[in-house]
Chain A
Amino acid sequence: MTRKQQRMTFVVAGLGALGIATALVLFALRDNIVFFYSPTEIVEQTVQVGDRNFRIGGLVENGSLQRVDANTITFIVTDMKHTVPVSYTGLVTSLFKEGQGVVAEGRLGPDGRFVASQVLAKHDETYMPAEVVDALKAAGEWKGN
């Protein structure tokens, strides 16, 4: 092997080893990198949340959003399999709506109700002007809500 080939082998082998090591670390940490849990994971208790702070994510179930008083709302988070009721006192952005994605941070009460300290609205990866949405709806080809 020439010096050049030696250096090339060294770089390729080093990158390969580093890639495998990173993949293994990420695989080992996969539960810690999860930003939020789904209602299914909470209801079926595949994760033990105890009384610590965690995040729950899913869709705001249609027809579930209720305003208790000026600042407090309740709604149900669903992943279409299981649901978790949530109550929250504070502000939400205009993106927070029924049928939209949501990530709430807080803890699970003894009654199974999730008391959120923060509610974040998730948005999807589609970008459509209102006119296009209206046209798609009129044509019956709209897949969103």
Chain B
Amino acid sequence: MANLHWLANPGRFLRIAKAVSPVLAGLTVVLLAVGLALSLQAPVDAVQGTPSKVLFMHVPSAWMSMFIWGVMAVASAVALIWKHPVADIAAKVSAPLGAGFTAATLLTGSLWGKPTWGTFWVWDARLTAELILLFLYIGYIAIWQAIEDPQRAGKAAAILALVGSVNLPIIHFSVDWWNTLHQPASILRDGGASIDASMLIPLLLLAAGFQAFYFTLLLWRMEAEIAGRKIRQLRLLSAQA
């Protein structure tokens, strides 16, 4: 972690972010365009029929919903232990992205469940744990909005991010630990992926595109947040002068 120390300097971070973000943005556009085009052309599952198309939006969203909370938890630990201001900002600006992907996961899952399972919603362990993740995101965002002082807000939010990370293994393993209506994992499982290459390739391209999208937005939002804090301080200083 010590080698991350040099990134804690906001000036240096901003210079790197400005150099990297155009490359990431370009990569995002290419991956999403190719992934989307291939997903629309991909064949449908023999048993499920056309509703299996929802897979291409549901699975990458679900992965992002968990990945982003993971990033927030790691950034929060770094912020709490090493007092890195940039880590605090990374966690804060990630939350709306994670909340959006969690909402997308629940909504697309619902639209997938109705024509296949026969219901929009059931209270099984997987679905309930994902819904709890949405509430965790909302709580996290609410803390930042409710506490005015960024130092205190950051500390309280960081603790929630760490506590909430307990939910991540529960979401992932819920389908193995308990009887659920939700099927087990298709890709991250023993014995390799159980998805035919014609569907797996577009899915993985879209998943990579969603990842690149997150990191692009993360860099832009961090720059906007750092600039916003500078503006607040400059105004405070000129008011005091």
Confirm or deny: B4 has a beta carbon within 8 angstroms of a beta carbon on chain A.
Answer: no
Of B82, B122, B125, B177, chain A has the most CB atoms within 10 Å of the CB of B122
B166 → A minimal CB distance (Å): 5
A19 to B169, CA, bound (A): 10
- Give complex CA distance A8, B162 in Å: 13
The answer on a CB contact under 8 Å between A126 and B186 is: yes
Tell me which of A15, A35, A95, A124 has the highest count of chain B C-beta atoms within 10 A of its own C-beta.
A35
- Residues 70-122 of A at the B interface (beta carbon under 8 Å): 91-96, 100, 103, 118-122
Which B residues are CB-close (under 8 A) to A67? none
B122 / chain A contacts, CB cutoff of 8 Å = 35, 120
Counting chain A residues whose Cβ lies within 8 A of the other chain, the interface size class is 35 or more
- Cross-interface CB contact of B183 among A19, A123, A133, cutoff 8 Å: A123
Decide if B48 is an interface residue (CB 8 Å cutoff): yes
Task: Specify which chain B residues have a CB less than 8 angstroms from the CB of A94 in the assembled complex.
Answer: 49
Chain A residue at minimum C-beta to C-beta distance from B42: A129
Answer whether residue A28 sits at the interface, using C-beta atoms and an 8 A cutoff: no
Task: Find chain A residues with CB under 8 A from B118 CB.
Answer: 91-93, 95-96, 118-121
A1 at the interface (CB under 8 A from B): no
Contact across chains for A15 and B186 when beta carbons are under 8 A apart: no
Interface of A is mostly: mixed
Return chain A residues, CB-CB under 8 Å to B199: 127, 129
If A92-B118, A127-B195, A131-B43 touch, does A120 touch B181 (CB 8 Å cutoff)? yes
User: Is the pair B189, A133 in contact by a Cβ cutoff of 8 Å?
Assistant: no
| In contact, A18 and B163 (Cβ under 8 angstroms) | yes
The verdict on B135 contacting chain A, using a C-beta distance below 8 Å, is: no
Q: Does A125 contact B (CB under 8 A)?
A: yes
Residue B116 at the chain A interface, CB threshold 8 Å: yes
**Among A92, A93, A122, residue most surrounded by chain B Cβ atoms (within 10 Å):** A93
A and B contact pairs by CB, cutoff 8 A, 16 listed: A4-B82, A11-B162, A19-B166, A33-B125, A35-B180, A36-B179, A36-B181, A37-B179, A38-B179, A95-B47, A95-B116, A118-B119, A126-B195, A127-B48, A127-B55, A127-B196
